[in-house]
Structure 1
Amino acid sequence: MISALWEIGAVLDEDRTPANVPNAVWLTIPTTRLRGPNARQDNVWLRECLERMTGLKLSGQHRGDEWGAVLVAEWHITEGGSKARILIPPAGVHALRSPGNFVKIETTAAHRLPPHA
């Protein structure tokens, strides 16, 4: 899951997506890139990772106001399993593009892994 998070962050970086966007961002990423070089060739684990990222909640305060969001708003595996389309809401983009927030997300993601992982 952490490698998929890294890849999503890398695509945002490659696309030069600013940390503060007014609208959600759709990313289209090859599933082989999200799965990693030595991962299963099917998308079983990738689907599980995307499902968990959809449940990853972000929250905080900004100028005294509380806010909350999810990291991934929506995802689709398309083109016979070769591509993943992932919708990242503005707060998710900000979190993935901000180094301090990204570390917190990685830590949370790592704690969500099963013990044998």
Structure 2
Amino acid sequence: MPTALPLLPRESDDAACGRPAPAAALSDTDATDLARALKALADPTRLRLLSIVAASPDGEACVCDLTEPVGLSQPTVSHHLKVLTEAGFLIRSKRGTWAYFRVVPGAVDRIAALLPR
């Protein structure tokens, strides 16, 4: 039967006990908001759509022009655009029967600012 090694107390356990969280730590609200935003961006199609809209002339794109570049149906593209809009990355405006999308200024910068450095 193998001999058990004696367990020694870890100094880090004593040092961390009772200490407040670092000032740079995310609050519960910020962590929830950041997770929601990162989840919206964690899809390759949504990243491509955001990139296409940002690179479009005049900084906006019609949903009718976004289906072909990603090779998906209009309802699927609309779903992805809705997720990006609800996460605060895109602004939607309706013109006639078509929806146009524009990147929210500073949206990506706000996400980066929430990450601890």
| TM-score, normalization by structure 1 | 0.40
Higher helix share: 2
Q: Could you say which structure has the higher strand fraction?
A: 1
Higher relative CO (Cα under 8 Å, sequence separation at least 6) belongs to: 1
TM-score w.r.t. the length of structure 2 is 0.40
